[in-house]
Amino acid sequence: MSSPKIFESEYRFCTILWENEPIRSGELVSLCGEKLGWKPTTVYTVMKRLAERGVIENRDTVVRSLVKREEAEQAEIDELVEKKFGGSIPAFVAAFAKNRRLSDEEAAELQKLIDGKRG
């Protein structure tokens, strides 16, 4: 099952949630005001949209994520590789490393990762 899409501003909201969950909705509204500069109506609108898509739940004014950070990150990476690189991992890695030098340690770590994914 794929994770529901989380858009950029929603992701910033989710980051605050992931770092503080479970959290009371009023406290979450305050944190989003401090960290994102959002008004309470904006926070409640985002919470409602995310709840409708199954990303979070707000039960008895306690907010929890239903999609974990790792799932959201993986979905974003999968979408990026598919959309920008036609699903090609080698093309993605080549673009990522194009203007970077890899240390021996980084190259060894990547090689270990590749070896672990073979077959």
* Fold topology of 8-69: Arc Repressor Mutant, subunit A (1.10.10)
The residue-averaged pLDDT of 19-41 equals 98
Cα radius of gyration rounded to whole Å, the chain: 18
Q: pLDDT tens-digit profile of 47-103?
A: 999 999 999 999 999 999 999 999 999 999 999 999 999 999 999 988 988 888 989
Q: What is the pTM of this model?
A: 0.78
Helix (H, G, I), strand (E, B) or coil at 104: helix
Report yes or no: 42 and 29 within 8 Å, Cβ to Cβ. no
Residue 110 has pLDDT above 80, yes or no: yes
Query: Boundaries of CATH 1.10.10.10 in the chain?
Result: 8-69
Report yes or no: 14 and 50 within 8 Å, Cβ to Cβ. yes
* Cα of 26 vs its chain's centroid, Å: 23
